[in-house]
Amino acid sequence: MRNIKSKILLLVLNSILFMTILLSEYVYTSYYPQVSWHENSGTQFLVIVMISVPMLLVLSIIYYFVGKKGVVKGLNKNLPLLALLVFMLPILLDGSLSFVLITIGTILGAILTLISIWSVVKSIISKENN
């Protein structure tokens, strides 16, 4: 019974993390004029500061306490902090939002999105709770 509860908890946490990463990646890609959701003002990055950062901080605290119980291990345990670093660092490094740093943030965000998808799939199909 505990195994099922821990799998459900891990699936819910990983799904929330994935949606937060996807929202942040959406904001980063909105900076490019090639997409239909383009916004060139740069104020869309406030969404990351106001929504994604608190969510990622809360998730990292939850992952820390769940990790103490052995439910979450390895990269999955540190994924919220890694996402926080990936999405906030380009914004903090350059307040004028240079194209190069936004591109680097977008690429790292895409990689992080793939890692989070892998994490969700792994939490569904794993036989032991890694």
pLDDT digit string (tens) for 55-114? Answer: 999 999 999 888 888 777 777 888 999 999 988 888 888 777 788 888 888 999 999 999
- Quote the CA–CA distance of 61 and 128 in Å, as a whole number: 22
- Quote the CA–CA distance of 59 and 5 in Å, as a whole number: 18
pLDDT digit string (tens) for 24-53? Answer: 999 888 888 888 887 777 778 888 889 999
- Quote the CA–CA distance of 116 and 96 in Å, as a whole number: 29
At 127, the pLDDT band (50, 70, 90 cuts) reads low
Residue 130's Cβ-side half-sphere holds a number of Cα atoms within 13 Å equal to 12
Q: Note the pLDDT of residue 129.
A: 44
Q: Note the pLDDT of residue 118.
A: 87
Domain boundaries, given as residue ranges, for the chain? 2-125
Long-range contacts of 95-100 (CB under 8 A, 24+ apart): 97/31, 97/42, 97/45
